[in-house]
Amino acid sequence: MQFPDQLSVHLKIDIAHQKALKKLGVETVGDLLYYLPARYEDISDVQSVGGLEKGQEAVVYGQLSGLKTRKAWKSRKPIAEGYVEDGSAKMKIMWFNQPYIAKMYSDGMYVKLAGKVAGSEGKLYLSNPEVEPLDSLPIDRHDSIFAGTEQQDDTLYPVYRETAGMTSRWLYHTVLKLFEKGALETLIDPIPSEILKKYNLPELKVALVWVHSPKKAKDAEAARKRFAFEEVFYIQIQKAQERAAVSAAQTYTVKTDPKHLAAFTSRFPFALTAAQDSAIQTILTDFSGNRAMSRLLEGDVGSGKTAVAATTAYAVVTSRPPEGLGKKIEYGNLQTAYMAPTEILAKQHFESFIEYFQHLPISVGLITGSGCMKFPSKADPAKPTKISKVQLLKWVKNGEVPILIGTHALIYKSVEFKHLAYVIIDEQHRFGTNQRKQLAKKDARMPHLLSMTATPIPRTLALTIYGDLDITLLDQMPAGRKPVKTTIVGPGQSKEMYDHVESELADGRQAYVICPRIEEPDPTKENALNMKSVIAEAKRLKSDVFPTWNIAALHGKMTPAEKDKIMKQFSEHQIDVLVATSVVEVGVNVPNATNIIIEGAERFGLAQLHQLRGRVVRGTYQPYCFAVTESKSDKTRDRLKALATAKNGFELAEHDLQFRGSGELYGGKQSGLSDLGMEAIRNLKLVEAARTEAKHLVDTHSDLSRAFPLIVEKVARLGEVLHME
């Protein structure tokens, strides 16, 4: 290990701090040294309270006290007041006509204040300052600043993320103490020095000093770049290893007769788009080699991923397994497993596949938590039938059912295939390498993997998170789709929107209403609050807005059967307006639903909004999207306006990455990247460099743990992080 020592070997740490550190996952010297500042505070323009003069525009840091509200004694106008103290002096603060200020902040809070110094000599006060609450005061070791002495370089202070019981200041001092105790002396840089030199990155010791205690902003930046590179590099090593393992495994080679394939696709009620055609060809080429495919198919909602899945599945299930050595010819063709994130989607795919495969002697099975089905039914060859799980699994195991569609139920232990050659995963990024292995189980051969998603991902993030996959874009919509007319609806503008939707409903169309997402730790799961907001909104719409129409709510707390029923009613137009949260049923297909109202639009990333509105780009009617925001901020409105002009989801994803930060956009910790790693993701050159070097290292060293034990140790500590949910 790089710095295995427990912190206590070098420092005395009291129990309270030990506990707090543990919460942050910091136990060893290495952990602490790699606990990097979240940001830096530049205090070159900060004044000490004691040195302020009348008329000055001042910025001070300090602690609040004595907050209260009173009425000015002549005008009776409300005044909020209090004090700020920074160690050099204490000064009064007054906010006129903002009585709520005293309630917004509390005594003892650390703040940054920016305002004008007013009053008279001896009775100075800070007038109407802007308040920015701080976790702690960045200033500490330079008490001299408070006394007004000039500082030259050291105006940059690291600010660490805190937890209960531990301040940024304490962390800073503890790191400095480690430096003083010589913690850096025995340190080995895990990154080969040629790589560092090549990209002009500081070596570890220098970088640690620069990142924790920078003299110049430039140094801090160089150090952060190094650590960002390091983080992405380890991820890329992991991905390169996964890729190498898949390449090394034996797989099924699938060779297809183009004539048969053409006959299969000619039955589609549409002509394939050029993008679909080329995606299919790419996949078939992968199939024909002797390495298992690992491919991500990225395409907007409605771009026709299911047809690509069906066509390539056809190629697989019409192929024979390799001849056993001298064994008798085996029964059954190669098999395909197709996994969807929800029962509704699994059923929808099952129904699509029945249409695609009904003219062939190919059975299709469906397995979900609430039961199993098989097509065709023995009694009526044009229909599917319910069957027992035991029966279905028996047929899957003996190869009689070559296509199995399902939810998570597909990867249960009891599900065994005879010759599983192809795994298709829809809208479920978290299923990766491990799940493929799980599905393959005892089968010695590695199945080909196609992962499909409608989430537009910036290139850098895709290269990192999906570093082990090849990426194919479905960047073309079927002909005849009308682009969505998108309107940003600000405060007080909802009447027009509702009038429009009303007229659409009267024309026989349907509408979705997406309720604002309520912040929650895991945005892929729904909580009770979101359910409440959906139910409340459905009620409000029924009583105040669309009293004559049928309105129903759909949320994640319903049972699959309840959801199913609602979706069925919606697709049969027994329901006119469907109120739902953003996470349910990403891929549902109801061509007559041409209106979507998205409440609280500012809470979503643009790419997500784009994905949501994709639900209405299905039929031949003009689709409409209303992005509703209560925000009065111009910035928010401007950001949303990009929705109306952007050409595709990828453009919006890049926009999100630059302007919002991917952490926020992709649900914080979901990607497993640190804040710094997320910063790195904005830098295509850095990501590409890390990727190139990692690949090279893995390709040229058959035993990486021998050559680079420190790197391998770091990679092992990454765990199974980087599959986005």
Binding residues for ligand ADP (CB under 6 A): 270, 272-273, 276, 299, 301-307, 454, 478, 587, 589
In the complex, minimum distance from the CB of residue 664 to ligand ADP, in angstroms, rounded to a whole number: 25
Residue 302 contact, options Mg ion, ligand ADP, none, Cβ 5-8 Å cut-off depending on partner type: ligand ADP
Peptide bond into 376 cis (omega under 30): yes
Query: Is residue 677 near Mg ion by the rule CB under 5 A?
Result: no
Give dist(CA 237, CA 704) in Å, integer: 10
**What secondary structure letter does DSSP report for 541?**
I
Name which of 426 and 599 has its Cβ closer to Mg ion.
426
CA dihedral for 336, 341, 347, 351, sign (positive or negative): negative
Question: Which alpha helices (DSSP H) does 325-424 contain, by range?
Answer: 343-357, 389-397
CB of 125 within 8 A of CB of 91? yes
Task: Give the residue at shortest CB distance from ligand ADP.
Answer: 304
CB of 639 within 8 A of CB of 658? no
Query: Is residue 384 near Mg ion by the rule CB under 5 A?
Result: no
Stretch that binds Mg ion, among 51-59, 322-330, 586-594, 671-679 (CB under 5 A): 586-594
Coil, helix or strand at residue 258: helix
Name which of 214 and 299 has its Cβ closer to ligand ADP.
299
Name which of 309 and 697 has its Cβ closer to Mg ion.
309
Stretch that binds Mg ion, among 71-79, 116-124, 542-550, 580-588 (CB under 5 A): 580-588
Name which of 305 and 714 has its Cβ closer to ligand ADP.
305
Sheet holding 403-406, edge to edge: 385-387, 371-375, 364-368, 403-406, 335-339, 420-426, 448-453, 294-299, 470-474
Query: Is residue 402 near Mg ion by the rule CB under 5 A?
Result: no
In the complex, minimum distance from the CB of residue 628 to ligand ADP, in angstroms, rounded to a whole number: 24
65, HSE (Cβ side, Cα atoms, 13 Å): 8
Query: Is residue 619 near Mg ion by the rule CB under 5 A?
Result: no
In the complex, minimum distance from the CB of residue 454 to Mg ion, in angstroms, rounded to a whole number: 7
Residue 50 contact, options ligand ADP, Mg ion, none, Cβ 5-8 Å cut-off depending on partner type: none
In the complex, minimum distance from the CB of residue 382 to ligand ADP, in angstroms, rounded to a whole number: 20
In the complex, minimum distance from the CB of residue 534 to Mg ion, in angstroms, rounded to a whole number: 23
Q: Which two tokens stand for residue 128?
A: 């109407």
CB-based burial label for 96 (10 Å; 0-12, 13-18, 19+): middle
Q: What DSSP string runs through 588-605?
A: ---TTEEEEEETTGGGS-
Give dist(CA 25, CA 250) in Å, integer: 39
Question: Residue 465: enclosing H or E segment and its boundaries?
Answer: helix 459-465
Which residue's structure tokens are 């420190």?
Answer: 710
In the complex, minimum distance from the CB of residue 231 to Mg ion, in angstroms, rounded to a whole number: 33
Residue 478 contact, options Mg ion, ligand ADP, none, Cβ 5-8 Å cut-off depending on partner type: ligand ADP
Residue 698 contact, options Mg ion, ligand ADP, none, Cβ 5-8 Å cut-off depending on partner type: none
Closest CA to 661 of 653, 672, 651, 649: 653
In the complex, minimum distance from the CB of residue 360 to ligand ADP, in angstroms, rounded to a whole number: 18
Name which of 343 and 537 has its Cβ closer to Mg ion.
343
In the complex, minimum distance from the CB of residue 297 to ligand ADP, in angstroms, rounded to a whole number: 9
Please enumerate in sequence order all residues whose Cβ is within 8 A of that of 116, keeping only pairs 6 or more positions apart, or say none: 55, 56, 57, 58, 126, 127, 128, 129
Residue 270 contact, options Mg ion, ligand ADP, none, Cβ 5-8 Å cut-off depending on partner type: ligand ADP
Please enumerate in sequence order all residues whose Cβ is within 8 A of that of 683, keeping only pairs 6 or more positions apart, or say none: 228, 460
Name which of 226 and 613 has its Cβ closer to ligand ADP.
613
In the complex, minimum distance from the CB of residue 6 to ligand ADP, in angstroms, rounded to a whole number: 52
Task: Give the residue at shortest CB distance from Mg ion.
Answer: 587
Query: Is residue 587 near Mg ion by the rule CB under 5 A?
Result: yes
In the complex, minimum distance from the CB of residue 20 to ligand ADP, in angstroms, rounded to a whole number: 47
Name which of 234 and 431 has its Cβ closer to Mg ion.
431
Closest CA to 349 of 305, 319, 415: 305
Residue 341 contact, options Mg ion, ligand ADP, none, Cβ 5-8 Å cut-off depending on partner type: none
**Would you give the binding string for Mg ion spanning residues 169-208, x where CB under 5 A is met?**
----------------------------------------
In the complex, minimum distance from the CB of residue 295 to Mg ion, in angstroms, rounded to a whole number: 16
213-218 CB contacts, 8 Å cutoff, 24+ apart: 213/158, 213/172, 213/175, 213/176, 213/179, 214/40, 214/156, 214/158, 215/153, 215/154, 215/156, 216/153, 216/156, 217/40, 217/42, 217/156
Stretch that binds Mg ion, among 59-67, 104-112, 584-592, 599-607 (CB under 5 A): 584-592
Residue 273 contact, options ligand ADP, Mg ion, none, Cβ 5-8 Å cut-off depending on partner type: ligand ADP
Give dist(CA 620, CA 270) in Å, integer: 14
Coil, helix or strand at residue 299: strand
Stretch that binds Mg ion, among 497-505, 585-593, 627-635, 681-689 (CB under 5 A): 585-593
Max CA separation in the chain (angstroms): 106
> Which residues of this protein are in contact with Mg ion, per CB under 5 A?
587
